[in-house]
A and B are shown apart, each in its own frame.
Chain A
Amino acid sequence: MAASPYLPTERFARWRKAKSTAVTCVLVLCALAVIAPLFLVIYFLIVHGSSSIDINFFTQLPKPTGEDGGGMANAIVGTMELLAMASIVGVPLGVLGGIYLAEYGSDKANDWLRFAADVLNGVPSIVWGMVVYLMLVVPFKTFSAYAGGVALGLMMVPLVMRTTEEVLILVPQSYREAALALGVARWKVIMVIVVRTALKGIATGVIVALARIAGETAPLLFTALGNNFWNHNLKEPIAALPLQIFAYAISPYDDWHRQAWAGALVLMALILALNITVRILSRDRTHNH
């Protein structure tokens, strides 16, 4: 066969195609391996948890082992209360810190602040729990919902701060100049023009931070402690989904194990819902610009 010298031989072409197919397969397997845990988590939660989810789970207090019914209503509400308290602590501190980083601080100070925020972001959550235990539990001689909220809120601060900074920097300088040229004071320009323009991005950052802390157990162990009953006083221990799951999962009882699975499923659904909210918010943002 008088093949052109520029065309590969039949054998070479087949070998090249085989290599290409092999590498593609490896890459596809890697991609599957990356997303497989998510599906495994959802699969196991649904298999083990869905059977125990009924109306009682959302409306009743935990019951002693052996009794029918019983739920985690107090833990679900407790988690919501803790997230609300965490937001009260974490959002103002984080957002104002982010505003400082983006609008005010000098380059040198900002470098240090960013470094500190990144280190804080990496502080193990159990350490947060211990610090807040020393700060708020020991002096007041009681575990409390407040302490749990503060521990979670402090964890939010560096996350909210960095995302706020990032979205504020994305606001075009021309809006700041236009507002300043109207003779508007700088802080008003920042609060009314810049922050308002970036509000969706800031909200996204807050929700990402909430999703991140919603499932934290360790910071609550020495602070919120957990509670088998309704909490009527934030100065007292409060139930939270992750704590309840932890307590039930290490118990020796099968019915509590099933409840723990159900609790994990609800917690996962909550975090998934938060993440979907983030997706919707971010999509709107890209459409607007």
Chain B
Amino acid sequence: MSTLPEAPSARASSDPIRVATTPNSAATAGLPVENEEVAFDIRNFSLWYGQRQALVDVTIKIPARKVTAIIGPSGCGKSTFLRALNRMHELTPGTRLEGSLRHFGSDLYGPGVEAVSIRRRVGMVFQKSNPFPTMSIAENVLVGLRLNGVRDKAVLQERLEKSLHMAALWDEVKDHLNRPGTSLSGGQQQRLCIARSLAVQPETLLMDEPCSALDPLATAKIEELIQTLRQEYTVVIVTHNMQQAARCSDRTAFFYMGKLIEFGNTRNMFTNPGNPQTEAYVSGRFG
């Protein structure tokens, strides 16, 4: 929390990263701070489940190596948005989308682009921890590498240790790496899943309410971990816990009814939101 980036003072009067968006002004919304590297450049993005439109004309630039929180009431499209970032939503039959989504410049939905290769670069951690029940702790961490053809024992050992260290789990499990992944506590299982995602060395990590099934202590550990991940990874985290968004994110995007209502510096969003709906939500008046 000590390194919240400030908006450039020269443009403070109309903070460019805090433009309230309506569907029609979306083209100017979500501009990044100048010279800031963009992880996801998303323009006029809409998504339908069958006939129902889940996302409406979302335009947003998610910065690289920062933590971006997605908040909003249930059913606002925040999870759908997240799952579209590594094409996990394609597992749901009958989805359709429009608009442009680029990840570090490359089109996520371009012709011939395979979801498999995108997911190598954009990993995901889920709401409920889901270590594979047939595998040990070590096997769980390494499964992504093994199934993608990595055989070199030295590489595997190095990645195993590095991933578990990054997920702040190494000290707790280093003496029993061969125990089943499911033998760990809930919070440890979630960190194991984070280690599993990190082992394949993605550029970006998506987290879908990663703490909603955890107790406060386990939640604090994951939030601490997110702070260290920020140094190397772009993190996008969906949360329905506004304190969590305020505590551990640099930017916050507020979704409501499938629309991106406001996107800006987390501190501004929570202290001085530009949109009355955001203000009502973050102050707890609805949602």
Contact = CB atoms under 8 A, between A and B. Distances in A.
Contacts of A188: 147
B132 A180 contact: no
Interface stretch (A20-28, A52-60, A111-119, A192-200): A192-200
Contacts of A192: 143, 147
A183 interface: yes
A9 interface: no
Contact of B91 (A175, A177, A197, A288): A177
Contact of B143 (A176, A177, A179, A180): A179
A180 B120 contact: no
Given A183-B116, A183-B117, A185-B116, A178 B148 contact: no
B134 A181 contact: no
B144 A183 contact: yes
A181 B193 CA distance: 11
A3 interface: no
A175 B91 CA distance: 13
B119 A181 contact: yes
Contacts of B130: 172, 174-175, 177-178
B133 A180 contact: no
Contacts, number: 77
Given A175-B132, A192-B147, A193-B132, A182 B126 contact: no
Nearest to B134: A196
Contact of B144 (A175, A182, A196): A182
A184 interface: yes
Interface of B is mostly: helix
B123 A182 contact: yes
B117 A178 contact: no
Interface string A247-266: 00000000000000000000
Contacts of B120: 182-183
A182 B197 contact: yes
A180 B148 CA distance: 12
A202 B148 CA distance: 26
Given A183-B119, A185-B116, A192-B147, A174 B126 contact: yes
B148 A184 contact: yes
Contacts of B200: 182-183
B128 interface: yes
B280 interface: no
A182 B148 CA distance: 9
A182 B147 contact: yes
Contacts of B133: 175, 197, 288-289
A184 B117 CA distance: 8
Contact of A182 (B91, B115, B134, B196): B196
Given A172-B130, A175-B130, A197-B133, A181 B86 contact: yes
A181 B147 contact: no
A197 B134 contact: yes
B88 A180 contact: yes
Interface of A: 172-186, 188-189, 192-193, 196-197, 199, 288-289
12 contacts: A175-B130, A175-B132, A175-B133, A177-B91, A179-B144, A182-B120, A183-B116, A183-B200, A184-B148, A185-B116, A188-B147, A197-B132
Given A177-B126, A180-B88, A180-B91, 8 more contacts: A178-B126, A181-B197, A182-B143, A183-B116, A186-B116, A193-B132, A199-B134, A288-B133
